[in-house]
């Protein structure tokens, strides 16, 4: 843990505006890592939080480690379940399924990745199983199994498992609030009606609440959600729209009763004008329909959503509008935008909470302990651009490689022009099954791209180097890999049993 003191520095007060997932994640981490700053958080009970955002990716465990959060305590507090990956239904041709698992796919054969061997056997017409069966996360996920990886045994298949969580967003915000307040964060309830700028520097000087109180700060973290109260409304930083690649701009969310089995994965099912999510928690299932409002009405979208729930709905569907894209700059003057105020990418790969996390860790890494420096701000904004563009390309790839053309929505997506950065990667993969990370900061590993692109049937040729290996050796290697993975998955505990045994939530949290 970093213990950063602030001797002889001008910055004293950090004011966080907004108390959703972004605001409380920021407050919980900054108050854990820093000493000597006054940290305040302003939120409005009247406005409330967006209240969706319940699926994560494995990097969330790094946030928890940095914030000193015990995972079992967090799981109990937020009715969380484990997530091994995402079950994609009907994304290829409307009658298909594949799994994007977080862990490894089998074992490499020297430097060759297993999907290359798999493609060779498929070309030869050798009977082989679905690619998912060679990855432990997929195999265990689809069998509703879960256990922690074994860090004492790094070479074993079980060490290749990787996991994240599904949690109740409101309960998580409450849990983080308790932790942050215990570390001295001061919560101020009230609706901000105005923002005053310092005439000379143009920095935000203070915000004005509806009852006339003012809250000042040296550094403001704008976690006010899509409104972007400070970064957009007060400082006028613009927004880059990405709706030429991402048609969806609206969602309807509805919880429903739990059903058995308790699945350790998110399910995303492609629909005619969007897609539907299913996120299992301990006490309920979160569901939603993300869609393009230009193509389908709220009523029709709600009918599709409600007709495809596994349990009885627990509320009426709630609509959320959004704008795919990102702020031109996430840090401007003395305001850093984190969360929805900094941009939004649809939750297909559960990346928004991760982008909150990287927003906070970037801020810690470039923290203006001794005042605001232009190079720090420029570097923050450069990294912000990279992260959003990187995730955007991965999400756009899901739509571009579809074979679906059954509605105007899917026809457009299949044939749309895509960013050059993505087109080059897809061309390389199509020609040789090769995929390379270009920068250490890229979020998704090769395994993720491979599972999605092959899951959707990108017609790939394999790396010719596979032909240097005798076909019998390739077949035997994949056969052994599959057997080991099947054995390990079989031996793993049931997901619901695992939670009941190690992290059951109390009945009244
Ligand atoms: P909000 O939750 O909107 O919080 C804004 C805060 O600002 C609130 O406390 C509010 O009271 C306060 N505020 C606003 N205006 C004022 C004012 N005038 N005065 C005082 N306070 C004010 N992310 C994932 O990682 N995984 C997912 O599965 C996922 N699913 C999603 C599904 C949908 C449909 C959507 C739209 C988003 C999803 N997200 C997901 C994104 C995720 O919900 C957000 O990233 C996350 O909730 C952060 O929101 P936030 O804290 O930025 O904003």
* b/e sequence 172-196, b meaning 16+ C-beta within 10 Å: bbebbbebbbebebebbebebeebe
Model pLDDT for residues 230-271, shown as the tens digit of each residue: 999 999 999 999 999 999 999 999 999 999 999 999 999 999
Starting at the edge strand found earlier in the chain, the sheet holding 343-344 runs 239-241, 325-327, 343-344
Kindly state the average pLDDT of the residues 291-313. Answer: 98
Pick from 83, 102, 137: which is nearest to 267 by CA? Answer: 83
The pTM score is 0.95
Q: Is the CB of 43 under 6 A from ligand 1?
A: yes
Three-state secondary structure along 398-431?
A: HHHCCCCCCCHHHHHHHHCCCCHHHHHHHHHHHH
Q: Which residues are catalytic?
A: 83
Q: Is the CB of 347 under 6 A from ligand 1?
A: yes
Distance 50 CA to ligand 1 centre (A): 4
Pocket test for ligand 1, best of 40, 321, 352 (most atoms within 8 A of CB): 352
Distance 20 CA to ligand 1 centre (A): 5
ipTM computed for the complex? 0.99
Q: Is the pLDDT of residue 214 over 70?
A: yes
* 437: confidence class by pLDDT, cuts 50, 70, 90: confident
* Residue 159 DSSP symbol: G
Q: How many CB atoms lie within 10 A of CB 212?
A: 8
CB 350 within 8 A of CB 166: no
Distance 430 CA to ligand 1 centre (A): 37
Could you identify the residue written with the tokens 């290359």? Answer: 116
Q: Is the CB of 21 under 6 A from ligand 1?
A: yes
Nearest CA to ligand 1 atom 27: 53
Name the more confident of 60 and 438. Answer: 60
d(CA 18, CA 191): 10
For the chain, list the domains and their CATH numbers: 13-81+167-244+324-386 (3.50.50.60), 104-161+391-494 (no CATH), 250-321 (no CATH)
The dihedral through the CA atoms of 58, 60, 61, 66 has a sign that is positive
Q: Is the pLDDT of residue 9 over 90?
A: no
Q: Are β-strands 186-189 and 38-43 bridged in parallel, bridged antiparallel, or unpaired?
A: parallel
Closest ligand 1 atom to 322 CA: 36
Q: Is the CB of 231 under 6 A from ligand 1?
A: no
Model pLDDT for residues 50-74, shown as the tens digit of each residue: 888 799 999 999 999 999 999 999 9
Angle at 81 between CA 77 and CA 84, to 5 degrees: 145
Q: Is the pLDDT of residue 454 over 90?
A: yes
Contacts 24+ apart (CB under 8 A), 290-293: 290/248, 290/250, 290/251, 290/346, 290/347, 290/348, 291/248, 291/250, 291/251, 291/252, 292/247, 292/248, 292/249, 292/250, 292/409, 293/249, 293/250, 293/321
Closest ligand 1 atom to 351 CA: 25
pLDDT at residue 359, rounded to an integer: 98
Distance 357 CA to ligand 1 centre (A): 14
Name the more confident of 188 and 506. Answer: 188
Q: Is the CB of 322 under 6 A from ligand 1?
A: yes
197 known ligand binder:
no
List of residues 6+ apart from 455 with CB closer than 8 A: 88, 91, 92, 96, 98, 99, 100, 131
């Amino acid at each position: 843990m970093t213990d950063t003191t602030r001797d002889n520095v001008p910055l004293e007060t950090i004011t966080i505006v907004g108390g959703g997932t972004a605001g409380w994640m920021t407050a919980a981490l900054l108050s854990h890592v820093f000493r000597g700053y006054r940290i305040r958080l302003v939120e409005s009970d009247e406005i409330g939080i967006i209240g969706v955002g319940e699926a994560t990716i494995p990097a969330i465990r790094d946030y928890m480690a940095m914030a000193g959060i015990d995972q079992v305590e967090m799981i109990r507090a937020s009715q969380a379940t484990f997530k091994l990956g995402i079950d994609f239904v009907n994304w290829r041709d409307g009658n298909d399924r594949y799994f994007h698992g977080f862990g490894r796919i089998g074992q490499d054969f020297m430097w060759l990745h297993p999907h290359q061997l798999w493609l060779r056997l498929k070309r030869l017409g050798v009977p082989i199983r679905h690619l998912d069966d060679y990855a432990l996360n997929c195999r265990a996920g689809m069998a509703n199994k879960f256990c922690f990886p074994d860090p004492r045994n790094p070479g074993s298949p079980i060490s290749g498992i990787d996991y994240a969580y599904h949690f109740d967003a409101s309960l998580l915000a409450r849990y983080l609030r308790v932790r942050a307040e215990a570390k001295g964060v001061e919560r101020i309830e009230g609706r901000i009606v105005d923002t005053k700028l310092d005439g000379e520097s143009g920095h935000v000087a203070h915000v004005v609440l509806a009852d006339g109180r003012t809250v000042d700060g040296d550094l403001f973290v704008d976690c006010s959600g899509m409104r972007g109260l400070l970064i957009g409304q007060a400082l006028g930083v613009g927004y880059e729209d990405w709706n030429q690649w991402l048609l969806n701009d609206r969602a309807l969310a509805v919880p429903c009763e739990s059903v058995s089995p308790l699945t350790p994965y998110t399910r995303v099912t492609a629909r005619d004008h969007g897609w539907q999510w299913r996120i299992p928690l301990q006490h309920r299932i979160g569901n939603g329909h993300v869609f393009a409002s230009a193509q389908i009405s709220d009523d029709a979208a709600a009918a599709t959503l409600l007709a495809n729930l596994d349990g009885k709905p627990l509320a009426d569907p709630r609509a959320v509008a959004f704008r795919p894209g990102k702020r031109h700059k996430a840090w401007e003057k003395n305001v850093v935008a984190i969360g929805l105020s900094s941009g939004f990418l649809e939750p297909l790969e559960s990346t928004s909470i991760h982008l909150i996390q990287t927003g906070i860790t970037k801020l810690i890494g470039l923290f203006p302990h001794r005042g605001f420096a232009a190079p720090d701000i420029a570097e923050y904004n450069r990294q912000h651009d990279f992260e959003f563009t990187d995730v955007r390309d991965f999400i756009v790839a899901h739509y571009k490689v579809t074979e679906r053309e059954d509605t105007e929505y899917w026809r457009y997506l299949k044939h749309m022009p895509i960013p050059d950065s993505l087109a080059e990667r897809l061309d390389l993969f199509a020609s040789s099954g090769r995929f390379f990370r270009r920068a250490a900061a890229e979020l998704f590993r090769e395994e993720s791209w491979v599972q999605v692109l092959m899951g959707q049937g990108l017609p790939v040729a394999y790396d010719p180097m596979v032909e240097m290996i005798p076909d019998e050796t390739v077949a035997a290697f994949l056969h052994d890999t599959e057997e080991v993975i099947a054995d390990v998955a079989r031996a793993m505990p049931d997901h619901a049993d695992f939670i009941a045994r190690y992290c059951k939530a109390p009945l009244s949290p």
